[in-house]
Amino acid sequence: MSDSSKIEWTDATWNPVTGCTQVSPGCDNCYAMRFAERWRGIKGHYFQNGFDVVLRAKMLDKPNQWRKPRLIFVNSMSDLFHRDVPDKYIDRVFERMEATDRHVYQLLTKRPERMKRYLGKRYGQGACPPHIWIGTSVESNAYAWRAETLRNIRAEVRFLSVEPMLGPVGGVKLEGIGWVIAGGESGPGFRPLHVQWVRDLRDRCVAGNIAFFFKQWHKGKTGRLLDGCTWDEMPLVA
Residue 187: predicted pLDDT: 81
Which phi-psi region, left, alpha or beta, contains residue 124 (left: φ > 0; alpha: ψ -120 to 50)?
Answer: left
- The helix-helix angle for 144-151 and 112-123 (nearest 10°) equals 10
For CA atoms 218, 209, 107, 20, the dihedral sign is negative
Residue 51: predicted pLDDT: 98
Count of CB atoms situated within 10 Å of the CB of 74: 23
Segment (H or E) for 125: none
Is residue 52 exposed (0-12), middle (13-18) or buried (19+ Cβ within 10 Å)? middle
The pLDDT tens digits along the chain (238 residues) read 456 678 899 999 999 999 999 999 999 999 999 999 999 999 999 999 999 999 999 999 999 999 999 999 999 999 999 999 999 999 999 999 999 999 999 999 999 999 999 999 999 999 999 999 999 999 999 999 999 999 999 999 999 999 999 999 999 999 999 999 999 998 888 999 999 999 999 999 999 999 999 999 987 668 899 999 999 999 986 5
- The helix-helix angle for 112-123 and 87-99 (nearest 10°) equals 70
Q: Note the helical H segments in the chain.
A: 31-37, 62-65, 87-99, 112-123, 144-151, 195-207
Q: Which domains does the chain have, with CATH numbers?
A: 12-222 (3.80.30)
Residue 120: predicted pLDDT: 97
Helices vs strands, H then E, count in the chain: 6, 9
Count of CB atoms situated within 10 Å of the CB of 146: 24
- Rounded CA-CA distance 4/99 in Å is 21
- Whether residue 82 contacts residue 20, with contact meaning beta carbons closer than 8 Å, is answered with yes
| SS3 label, residue 130 | coil
Residue 110: predicted pLDDT: 98
